[in-house]
Structure 1
């Protein structure tokens, strides 16, 4: 789809949505600028949407969908009904309501309701319950041949799910089991709900693909207050991909207050995207197949370089290999990581490892806490133009060869006012390639066998 056609799909909430974004874009500019400090606010303000004045779904715990949730769910149902939201269990005739009983396959019922909302400029509230969904093939499935597999949002709408609403994939042998795909559209909000895969019930042992929530070729998508767990592959993914083989980037993507846990490959995979903001989110325990990262920014194939991606007040913990990694494929630039926490990741907390044709630039790593990671807090290769300041770095001091920084063939790197503890504080591997323009200023080194080893 062309950029002109995609922009024309910004629906009834588009002007209000874009107006609300202006404030966040200004925040984003601050977050990605080299001189910006840590914002004073506890949370970044997110765009106003039609449901903003309604009680947000509670993401503190996974909802059970049992009778214990019924009172609060009834109250929320009434509030959303007053705002004109359709109810997934009781939609207008001739639509069939979803059962949400943990037994019935609700794929077709929910898809028909979603399509009705898109076609009639309606929004959807999903009450407490467990909705069983047949695994889809994701972005590679044309609209005409969805065959009742997976859920698709292909037009402007808002979907709000109760804290006790669980969307659960039925077991499958598909190598790419997908739960929800948002594609080729603009102005979509998905808030609340527990989006659960079938990792432990998967009917095959091969493959690493599949994603619980996919955003492809979209503009102005806001995901918030979701629990995403137990994917066979990735928890969430954002990119541009088939069947829309144009150069369109996904842009202005917002993920706030997401809890992503125990997915097989990555918690979040980011491909070709411009302007993406991830705030107040947790990426924990990705451990089945490589890269085993909390977040992996890796646009490949036809996907252009990722540009302007910001992480603020996020946690990257207990992932098999990496907390956050980027630089492979077609690369990334202007990545900002501020006020985040990294701990317990298997090898490295932040891994910036570019291929030589796409050196990374514009990295800002500021005011983060790194602790209890096996090898390195930050690893960088083929990277230039980076500001790393105000971080507290506690490497695994008992492990020989561990450290706070691992550098190889980097340039124009400013390392300023960081606190470092590690077996080795900074390792500059000249065997891979010479580094130049490394500025060290007002850093504190403690318990380091060597402050700077070349």
Structure 2
């Protein structure tokens, strides 16, 4: 029996609740200070026709020194995704219900609407990130992201939709750690709903990854390190994977990458329906658990585990044709 231990730790303005040895946070958010900046107060229009990139970045920079909250009222805010918005440490970015940050059409291969790079204690809550896959002006590349994390730590992403991106709805890399996706939706993205290429202590809970299609792997969630990347301690729980052209969840380490690794992956209590490949596909992965999931109308096997993986697959998983 695993003994649960409960700790309450205040870390640079965020109240983080740690449960058990995995130390996953509970998606609680507490601003670092009482400073609040409404983006309209620094010139953002949110009218769907004005480029609001500079105004939004000004608001985000305005809370970066002492920490605080940036509020995005209802509206459509156009952002030059070639530049994107950078969120710094100790920032809560709160998007109102009905607030949309929309990427302006471009022709570049690689970009992100929002970036959290080398920052800690960040929360992004509510609203929608809307990509430009249907207006994209180029034909190459697959790295146009809604939200990218690189070298980030103690980040909560909550109640936000990321859809119609040229690449991924969400991307985690650069040895990021303690990242929580809570009640998020990735819908209609071209490459993945969520890519995890480097990181540790990543929680996905109560979320939906749907309608991913366009360029492989086309998975709801793809755990796939780059050449020397490592991914460990990932929990995917109580989430939905529906109508993705690839797998619902794929964990894959290329045999070419001798220095990469995937370990301690837990996939529990999720629903997989009408995915184009396997519901769950596990390759070259250590200590994976696939427990208590339901699978319906997978185009291939419900669960596929290769001979190089070490995995526990419980009979509690249920399958329907």
- TM above 0.5, yes or no, is yes
Residue number among 198, 202, 206 corresponding to 2:136 in the alignment: 202
Distance 1:201 1:48 in 2: 35
Q: How far does residue 97 in structure 1 lie from its aligned partner after superposition?
A: 1.9
Residue number among 226, 243, 246 corresponding to 1:318 in the alignment: 243
Q: How far does residue 119 in structure 1 lie from its aligned partner after superposition?
A: 2.3
- The alpha-carbon distance between structure 1 residues 15 and 179, as it changes in their structure 2 partners (threshold 3 A), is closer
Distance 1:324 1:239 in 2: 17
Contact 1:28–1:277 at 8 Å: present in 2 too? Answer: no
Partner of 2:18: 22
Partner of 1:288: 214
Contact 1:177–1:232 at 8 Å: present in 2 too? Answer: no
Whether 1:340 and 2:270 are equivalent positions in the alignment is yes
1:47-446 aligned within 5 A: 47-50=28-31, 84-90=35-41, 96-136=42-82, 149-240=83-174, 249-303=175-229, 305-329=230-254, 330-354=260-284, 360-389=285-314, 390-394=316-320, 396=321
Distance 1:134 1:85 in 2: 24
Report the 3-state secondary structure (helix = DSSP H, G, I; strand = E; otherwise coil) of the residue aligned with 2:97: coil
Partner of 2:5: none
Q: Deviations over 1:104-156 (max 9, x none)?
A: 000011111111111242321111110000012xxxxxxxxxxxx11011322
RMSD, aligned CA: 1.9
Distance 1:28 1:319 in 2: 29
- The alpha-carbon distance between structure 1 residues 385 and 197, as it changes in their structure 2 partners (threshold 3 A), is same
Distance 1:299 1:87 in 2: 38
Q: Under a length normalisation based on structure 2, what TM-score does the superposition of the two structures give?
A: 0.90
Q: Under a length normalisation based on structure 1, what TM-score does the superposition of the two structures give?
A: 0.65
Contact 1:265–1:289 at 8 Å: present in 2 too? Answer: yes
Distance 1:190 1:331 in 2: 29
Report the 3-state secondary structure (helix = DSSP H, G, I; strand = E; otherwise coil) of the residue aligned with 2:110: coil
Q: How far does residue 259 in structure 1 lie from its aligned partner after superposition?
A: 0.8
Distance 1:299 1:349 in 2: 20
Contact 1:269–1:298 at 8 Å: present in 2 too? Answer: yes
Q: How far does residue 193 in structure 1 lie from its aligned partner after superposition?
A: 1.2
Q: How far does residue 46 in structure 1 lie from its aligned partner after superposition?
A: 2.4
Contact 2:47–2:75 at 8 Å: present in 1 too? Answer: yes
Contact 1:298–1:331 at 8 Å: present in 2 too? Answer: no
Distance 2:26 2:142 in 1: 35
Partner of 2:4: none
Distance 1:257 1:197 in 2: 19
| Alignment gaps of 5+ in structure 2 | 1-9, 255-259
Q: How far does residue 15 in structure 1 lie from its aligned partner after superposition?
A: 4.7
Report the 3-state secondary structure (helix = DSSP H, G, I; strand = E; otherwise coil) of the residue aligned with 1:199: coil
> Larger Cα Rg: Structure 1 or Structure 2?
1
Q: How far does residue 83 in structure 1 lie from its aligned partner after superposition?
A: 5.1
Q: Deviations over 1:164-204 (max 9, x none)?
A: 11000001011123200101011001101110000100011
Aligned residues: 306
Contact 1:263–1:286 at 8 Å: present in 2 too? Answer: yes
Q: How far does residue 369 in structure 1 lie from its aligned partner after superposition?
A: 0.4
- The alpha-carbon distance between structure 1 residues 169 and 48, as it changes in their structure 2 partners (threshold 3 A), is closer
| Alignment gaps of 5+ in structure 1 | 1-12, 32-43, 52-81, 91-95, 137-148, 241-248, 355-359, 397-454
Q: How far does residue 239 in structure 1 lie from its aligned partner after superposition?
A: 0.5
Distance 2:27 2:51 in 1: 34
